[in-house]
Structure 1
């Protein structure tokens, strides 16, 4: 992990939805810092700079927040994003110290192309580890280049950097390389599953419902002959 980006904060003294909206209109972000048994610290962050720092730092971004002239290392724990405008609405941090060990979930990045006719399934996209707050891995890279059918990569197979300890079960399946299923086989499996579930499909409707046909004309009916 690269050195934490320094961000100067402002003290937040107004609370509530109205105050939060005013903060966001000024392209700023309300945030709170928890940890070390202290009362939560409410601050205001510069919008664009914070957004770029979180984007660059990844899931476990570590920032050096300047709070009234004092630096506080803060580990990102939760980022609330507006689902429509895709802007950051609020950030929760945990206060940490240099050298302190923290528990984090690190994402897994799968690279490479497995052997032909295979299907690469990521069974677990994150792995729980313990690492120094200032040396948290951004991600774990897993290569499946030319991996044959049956290849399985477990948590114990990950290349952990020095100072990082695996907390997840060593046998946790991360990536599974299986045989690619054909469309015919997939359809057959679906039909079998539906049969086991008792799902029946209605037969195609008859072209004409019974009784809809016009009655046959009686012989002689409507004839002008005497």
Structure 2
């Protein structure tokens, strides 16, 4: 399901105009890429709630600008230093034939049924919570699943072990194979096991 939001064309620019917009409950924004950049105004309340959804940050969105829809990606959000107020939003137009580069969240599953956690007193440590990927817009996943069911005590899952959806490539940063999650033994659990062993 594609997320849609409304926007209107913004003619007035500058600090004063932006301040007036914000006082009226709106956010100044820009849509750029593949054509002329377009200044827009957006409803603060609508976008504030949409920004709380994980999918809004890692999905192809539909921007309805004065009745004309265009496919876009959220590229930047500026917040007020201490108020829950959005100051500016940047969106990039999407071309269905051009690959895009985006951070996609990881969803960790089966941690509660993992034997190392249930029986071995381990806890799962998440080292990475999102991945940089490249793909065509039509192949963009909302998230990438990390299955923890077979992770044993002291073992780790690396980026190379993740199953990426078809058409999705990893964007590597530097060398090596980063760790995604590790099953760590909790000190108290290890002590309890040692005590039980001594008592036996």
Which TM-score band applies after superposition, normalised by the shorter structure? Answer: 0.7 to 0.9
- Does the Cα contact within 8 Å between 1:76 and 1:93 map onto a contact in 2? yes
DSSP 3-state at the match of 1:177: strand
- Does the Cα contact within 8 Å between 1:110 and 1:144 map onto a contact in 2? yes
Who wins on radius of gyration, i.e. which is larger?
1
**1:83–1:140 CA distance, 2 compared to 1 (3 A):** farther
Structure 1: state its 5+ residue gaps: 186-226
Counterpart CA distance in 1 for 2:103 and 2:176 is 15
Offset from partner CA, 1:154-175 (integer Å, 9 cap, x none): 1122222222122237822211
Offset from partner CA, 1:59-78 (integer Å, 9 cap, x none): 22432223354322110011
- The equivalent of 2:170 in structure 1 is 166
Residue 178 of structure 1: which of 175, 184, 188 is its match? 184
TM-score (structure 1 length as normaliser): 0.68
Instruction: Please provide the CA RMSD for this pair.
Output: 2.7
Counterpart CA distance in 2 for 1:47 and 1:61 is 20
- Does the Cα contact within 8 Å between 2:56 and 2:74 map onto a contact in 1? no
Query: How big is the shift at 1:99?
Result: 4.1
- Does the Cα contact within 8 Å between 2:3 and 2:56 map onto a contact in 1? no
TM-score (structure 2 length as normaliser): 0.76
Relative contact order, higher structure (CA 8 A, sep 6+):
2
Residue 128 of structure 1: which of 124, 132, 137 is its match? 132
DSSP 3-state at the match of 2:187: coil
What is the count of residue pairs matched by the alignment?
181
Matches within 5 A, 1:14-53: 14-36=12-34, 38-53=35-50
